[in-house]
């Protein structure tokens, strides 16, 4: 079987440096790459968009960054809506033909991921081309992943079976799986975007010291779903929980009374107020 284009993006490694975005601008702004694209405009077009999300509240806060590009879907809605103006190559890359798509602004709305933009100067819908012009020259990375300093973006040319094995081994996920578009862009550590955490801290009321080594149990409907141990600052954080669900947080330390707190984390996660542990 032929190898196909895939992209793996690790949300734990992206720090919003925007090197990928700038590399994309450098490659496509002012440059025509026929027959795959005409020049990207100087302003307005973002073929690579980095979304940002805050999790938790002071003092335990995380910021997650999620780069988004054309998903190069195997069941691409844009292809179906284009009357031949958008096509999928044998290597998996989805291309908007800049000649056939001329004047068809409706193509912008055919992508459920919002990956298509309108080039008013050229009168054509545009998006990430997967750097098809470079791939065809033998490049092993498109400009975005080539420029990524942390390795958050990795371009993978692989057979479908090989990619399926990697998805299973690394726990990769796709964006908006409910759409059934079969994207070729996969995310690692996607839980940082789709799941939530409950965090907090504990201290000993009798001396004010940070409560290191406490056992923390997170329960739902009476059953334990996760555990943690407070660190030297008395802090804990339990991740991969479901937003909107109700949990019970139990904190125990030898010689102190156990404490329970209710927690219902929203999509923004939840940092509980500090808990004082009283002597038993």
pLDDT digits (tens, 9 = 90+) for 167-193: 999 999 999 999 999 999 999 999 999
Contact 143, 19 (CB under 8 A): no
- Name the domain boundary from 139, 170, 193: 193
Same domain, 173 and 218: no
Same domain, 157 and 234: no
At 232 the pLDDT is: 97
Same domain, 36 and 132: yes
Same domain, 147 and 202: no
As for how many domains the chain has, the answer is 2
Same domain, 106 and 182: yes
Compute the Cα dihedral for 182, 183, 186, 187 and give only its sign.
negative
pLDDT over threshold 80, residue 276: yes
Same domain, 176 and 205: no
Q: What is the mean pLDDT of the chain?
A: 97
pLDDT digits (tens, 9 = 90+) for 119-154: 999 999 999 999 999 999 999 999 999 999 999 999
At 45 the pLDDT is: 85
What percentage of the chain exceeds 70 in pLDDT? Answer: 100
**Residue 1: pLDDT band by 50, 70, 90 thresholds?**
low
pLDDT digits (tens, 9 = 90+) for 193-225: 999 999 999 999 999 999 999 999 999 999 999
Average pLDDT, stretch 2-23?
A: 97
Same domain, 100 and 206: no
Q: Which two tokens stand for residue 147?
A: 């420029």
* CATH number of the domain bearing residue 240: 2.60.40.10
- Name the domain boundary from 193, 224, 243: 193
Same domain, 129 and 149: yes
Q: Which two tokens stand for residue 103?
A: 């004047």
What percentage of the chain exceeds 90 in pLDDT? Answer: 98
204-237: b (≥16 Cβ within 10 Å) or e = beeeeebbbebebbbbeeeeebbebebeeebbbb
Same domain, 79 and 188: yes
pLDDT digits (tens, 9 = 90+) for 226-240: 999 999 999 999 999
Average pLDDT, stretch 5-26?
A: 97
* CATH number of the domain bearing residue 113: 3.30.70.20
DSSP alpha helices (H): ranges in 113-263?
132-135, 143-147, 160-170, 191-194
Helix (H), strand (E) at residue 23: helix 19-28
pLDDT over threshold 70, residue 65: yes
Domain encompassing residue 37: 4-193
Q: Which two tokens stand for residue 190?
A: 């996607």
Average pLDDT, stretch 9-31?
A: 97
Same domain, 171 and 210: no
- Name the domain boundary from 142, 163, 193: 193
pLDDT digits (tens, 9 = 90+) for 106-115: 999 999 999 9
**Residue 75: pLDDT band by 50, 70, 90 thresholds?**
very high
Same domain, 68 and 109: yes
**Residue 86: pLDDT band by 50, 70, 90 thresholds?**
very high
Same domain, 94 and 231: no
pTM of the model: 0.93
């Amino acid at each position: 079987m032929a190898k196909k284009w895939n992209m793996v993006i690790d949300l734990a490694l992206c720090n919003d440096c925007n090197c990928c975005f700038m590399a994309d601008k450098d490659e496509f702004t002012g440059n025509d790459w026929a027959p795959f694209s005409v020049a990207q405009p100087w302003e307005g077009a973002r073929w690579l968009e980095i979304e940002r999300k805050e999790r938790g509240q002071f003092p335990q806060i995380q910021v997650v960054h999620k780069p988004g590009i054309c998903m190069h879907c195997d069941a691409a809605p844009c292809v179906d809506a284009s009357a031949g103006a958008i096509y999928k190559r044998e290597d998996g890359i989805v291309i908007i033909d800049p000649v056939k798509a001329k004047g068809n602004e409706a193509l912008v709305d055919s992508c459920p991921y919002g990956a298509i933009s309108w080039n008013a100067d050229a009168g054509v819908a545009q998006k990430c081309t997967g750097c098809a012009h470079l791939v065809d020259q033998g490049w092993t990375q498109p400009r975005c992943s080539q420029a990524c300093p942390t390795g958050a973006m990795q371009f993978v040319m692989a057979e479908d079976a090989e990619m399926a094995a990697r998805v299973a081994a690394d726990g990769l996920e796709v964006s908006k799986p409910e759409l059934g578009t079969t994207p070729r862009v996969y995310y690692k550590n996607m839980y940082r975007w789709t799941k939530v955490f409950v965090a907090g801290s504990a201290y000993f009321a009798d001396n004010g010291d940070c409560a290191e080594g406490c056992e923390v149990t997170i329960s739902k409907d009476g059953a334990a779903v996760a555990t943690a141990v407070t660190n030297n600052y008395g802090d804990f954080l339990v991740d991969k929980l479901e937003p909107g669900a109700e949990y019970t947080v139990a904190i125990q330390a030898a010689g102190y009374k156990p404490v329970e707190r209710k927690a219902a984390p929203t999509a923004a996660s939840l940092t509980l107020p500090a808990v004082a542990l009283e002597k038993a």
